[in-house]
Structure 1
Amino acid sequence: MRDLSLSQANRAARNAATIARADDGAGNAAIRLYTAQGGALLATRTLGKPCGTVRPADGRLQLAPGSAADLVSATGAPTWGVLHAADGAPLYEGPVTDEAGFAGPAGAAADTGNIGPWVLRGTSGTQLYEGGVVALTTGLIG
């Protein structure tokens, strides 16, 4: 089967619906980083409300960080990330890598062969340390 292209207008509509769904609930949407799929939680980055905007140039969802900085809650190397809606429901999930496609602890990170959908900058592999700041510099989806 051949791949279908998504039009900019359809992408923008889909991402506007994603923002509405992500913001549905009393809390805030958040990106959570885990040791593995179904593993231990290492860090959370709380998003603003609204959690993002649709970028006019291409219809992509630009995530918006919350005003307060989040801290890494436990030392470890995340390999799985999930965007959770304000009500806690998972919306997007996938592998975490560094900018070169490596995942795992510092000094022992494995080459995944791909750069993941969740990318940590400024790390050796995906190692995080308890008390470190969880920043969001670029957050584009779809």
Structure 2
Amino acid sequence: MRVCRVISRREFEAEGELDIGVFAKTGDILVISSEVRQEEDELGKYLSDEDIERLRNFLPDLEQPRTYTRFTVLMDVKCGLTRVPKVGEEIEILNDEEIRKAHTVSGEFRMPYLPYLMKKDVELAKIAISKLFRLFPEERDILEMIMAEIEYSVMREVDL
């Protein structure tokens, strides 16, 4: 996968489909997949699926709808800051060991992006923390407190 479109300083898209909540890296930037969308071709707006398939029989080069995954930039792994990814940069899906390494500095657990992620998308923050529960069993107490705070902030926003 490669970056195909930069939306903002904190978001970009790549062509292809990934599950939501997958940690990845582009350069030294830690990212998480946040949304999957399918771009409908122009004909799809005006024709039925059957008509489109009939057209594709005669026009095989007719474009298929494309699927894009949106990524949220979390942090620069080396310095904790963020930089804007460039179009064409390779996106590497991280395995468990690489995720642990990205969230550890001098043996200490860190999540400097958590306040931003909680403001942007609470559900995505829950997914990320759930993944980290499995990878950092020794930090379970801290992660449980963070999850409780997220739940409390959601409840606080709801009028009971």
TM-score by length of 2: 0.23
Higher helix share: 2
TM-score by length of 1: 0.25
Larger radius of gyration: 2
Higher strand share: 1
